[in-house]
Structure 1
Amino acid sequence: MRFIESEEGLPLITQLSYKIDEDRCKLLWQWPEGIQAVYIYKRSTDREQQGEYEYDYPPSVSGLKLYTREEYKSAGGYYDRIDTIGLVAYTVYACMMDDGDKRLVHQSDAENTVEFSTGRAKIRYSISHKSGLLRKYKTVQISVLAEIEIPKEVLCYVKKQGNYPVSIEDGTVYPFLRDFPSGRSTLPVIEVGKNDYVRLFFTDGPKYGRLYELIPE
């Protein structure tokens, strides 16, 4: 099995579309003339931005699934169970047979790939501030409850003097040093000025807001 680049005259997958019904998705596409089988590659992209699936090319052979034209006709499409939260990408490769050698057509226009969200994973968090009457500083403790593992690059905390920050630009930004496992994580206490306030934000709202929902407890 090997991949070849698409060029004029080669069979291409077109009109690839999807439908979601509860925990299943259905893929439909236009079969090119003469092609009797395709290989389907599924990739979960819960950590990545839309459109970054191309770095997986060529995909691992073990991740490819053979699907014949007869199976497609019998089932009325290709069905798969949705078992992840986040973004999922499917790529359908036309399979050409040449003296027993399978050649899969890589389409640089990515028209043989669809990507969609299966829902946003919830990230709940709480922040407690404690201070003493005679102390210059107060302590802050952050607790995060995540449905799935969250990369440390997703979140940051912002410190502002005098009031709670309203955005990532509204104060001093601090990164996290470790990923957040699924479940509850209580971070070590940090010390801030008595008049400082801390809040959690996405490091990149447009990017990570598509994948996760940040909810104060």
Structure 2
Amino acid sequence: MKYAEVDSGAPVIAEVVSRVEDRFCTLRWRWPDGVQAVCIHKASAEAPEDGEQPPSGMKLYTREEYKANNGFRDRLDEIGLVAYTIYARLAGNGETLLVRQRDGANKTVVSAGKARIYYSVQHKKSLFSKLKTVHMTITAEVPVPKEVLCYVKKRDGHPASKEDGALFPFVQDFAPGRNQLPPIEVGKDDFIRIFFTDGRKYGLYYELVPE
């Protein structure tokens, strides 16, 4: 399978529209004359652009399937932004060619939504101790890399942001479900709160929710 570049006579995909509902994405587009099948590539919108060869893992979808289903319907198991690229498929002389449209008219980006990360921070102090114990729990809907989250310690008040105190990284990834972290000891006047390490970046994929 190889790419064919667009020329004056090449069939191209146009008028791609998308709709997301209940974790399913439906795609529709205008089929060029003479094209009986397309190849659909799905990837994170942040993934690098295609190289000189078509990517692996594409789905073959025929014109008959499109008519029977009134479009192409796909389940969204991902989070964040997802890009679909539809390639007109040409077959002949023993080889398959996919028409590469560098103008992006055959591509659409949809939002697969955000995964929720629930967090709990409990401060427990002993009556006569100068220290208190902090118990942190992370409950995630999906696997979460340790780089996504951090915790901040501040004296005499709860941190308002990740810059409002001393920042500490987490040392292991979070599995789906409830993650009970080992307790830590801090000063009796210290308070801890959990934040995204980069809210602008990770806020596209996750929602941080206090329990």
TM tier relative to shorter chain: 0.7 to 0.9
Q: Is the 8 A contact 1:41 1:59 kept in 2?
A: no
Partner of 2:184: 190
- From 171, 174, 180, the counterpart of 2:174: 180
Partner of 2:74: 80
Q: Distance in 2 between matches of 1:31 and 1:211?
A: 33
Unaligned runs of 5+ in 1: 46-50
Equivalent position amino acid for 1:19 in 2: R
Equivalent position amino acid for 2:96 in 1: K
> Quick check: 26-35 or 196-205, which moved more?
26-35
Question: What secondary structure, in the 3-state scheme, does the structure 2 residue paired with 1:53 have?
Answer: coil
Q: 1:26 to 1:161 in 2, by over 3 A?
A: same
Unaligned runs of 5+ in 2: none
Q: Distance in 2 between matches of 1:111 and 1:175?
A: 42
2:161 aligned with 1:167: yes
Q: Distance in 2 between matches of 1:66 and 1:80?
A: 13
Partner of 1:64: 58
Q: 1:94 to 1:16 in 2, by over 3 A?
A: same
1:159-207 deviations in whole A, cap 9, x for unaligned? 1121111112212221112110011101112222222211011112122
The alpha carbon displacement at 1:107 in A equals 3.4
The alpha carbon displacement at 1:2 in A equals 2.2
Equivalent position amino acid for 2:71 in 1: G
State the number of aligned residues. 209
Q: 1:144 to 1:71 in 2, by over 3 A?
A: same
Could you say what the CA RMSD is over the residues aligned between the two structures, in angstroms? 2.4
Q: Distance in 2 between matches of 1:196 and 1:92?
A: 54
Partner of 2:149: 155
- From 46, 51, 54, the counterpart of 1:52: 46
Q: Distance in 2 between matches of 1:159 and 1:59?
A: 49
Q: Percent identity?
A: 50
The alpha carbon displacement at 1:23 in A equals 4.4
Q: Distance in 1 between matches of 2:172 and 2:25?
A: 34
Question: What secondary structure, in the 3-state scheme, does the structure 1 residue paired with 2:129 have?
Answer: coil
The alpha carbon displacement at 1:142 in A equals 0.8
Question: What secondary structure, in the 3-state scheme, does the structure 2 residue paired with 1:179 have?
Answer: coil
